[in-house]
Structure 1
């Protein structure tokens, strides 16, 4: 098994606690409502939503990825960090054992939030992942992030 690591950052004008609440604590309710063209439903299969919990995310009909199962590895509400792994589904493309996302929301210089994400792709055997595939995944995530951010900006009363 090999591990390919990819890091990316996104800056938001919203405060870190608001972003954490929306993107982590209320993810299951918010995402299907805000990005129904991407996320059809999110279902808690095991646990209470905290570490050890397993969720099934079903994507929109026209998505090339139909579903994934995520396992919540860690959640630190005090430090606004969250780690989860994709453990099953089309996104693994029969070449990955899992994908782990470590996300930290912190105050950005000049205000807002700096969202730092480290993605670790655990390959099966000696299979190599193309940089274009990783970049395309990051771009899709950034587009969804932006859509949710726009929703929060249009609804400033949420997650205060």
Structure 2
């Protein structure tokens, strides 16, 4: 996924990645309910994902803003397959969070 924003790369990366755990619930409270680390032996109640890796890169754009690239890799349990509509829904939600953070930073230039 790629999102172009008017926010400089350092500020956008800090807001989305470094301060994301406190900033995102404040800006888009419906996006994240809670974060919980679950450990177990794979027995009943285990989700369909073994783990998920996210990689986010920000680069300068010609207008002084930034280009944010996000790659998510999902490692599933067994033969579970992720459907294309689930991938699109995830991209749409992530893009919405980027845009919400951009709007917040534009409205609050001294924030972050």
The runs of at least 4 consecutive aligned structure 1 residues that moved more than 6 Å come to none
> Cα offset for 1:27?
1.5
Matched length:
106
Please tell me the root mean square deviation across aligned C-alpha atoms, in Å. Answer: 2.0
- Higher share in strand: 1
1:148 is displaced (CA, Å) by: 1.3
Match of 2:20 among 20, 27, 36: 27
> Residues 134-153 of structure 1 correspond to what in structure 2 (within 5 A)?
134-153=87-106
Structure number with higher relative contact order (C-alpha < 8 Å, ≥ 6 residues apart): 2
CA distance in 1, matches of 2:71, 2:35: 19
Residue 154 of structure 1 deviates from its aligned partner by 0.2
1:121 and 1:38 map into 2 onto residues whose CA distance is: 19
Report the equivalent of 2:42: none
Partner of 1:42: none
Q: Which runs of 5+ in 1 are unaligned?
A: 1-7, 40-58, 60-66, 71-86
Name whichever structure is richer in helix by fraction.
2
Aligned to 2:65: 112
Cα distance in 2 for partners of 1:157, 1:113 equals 18
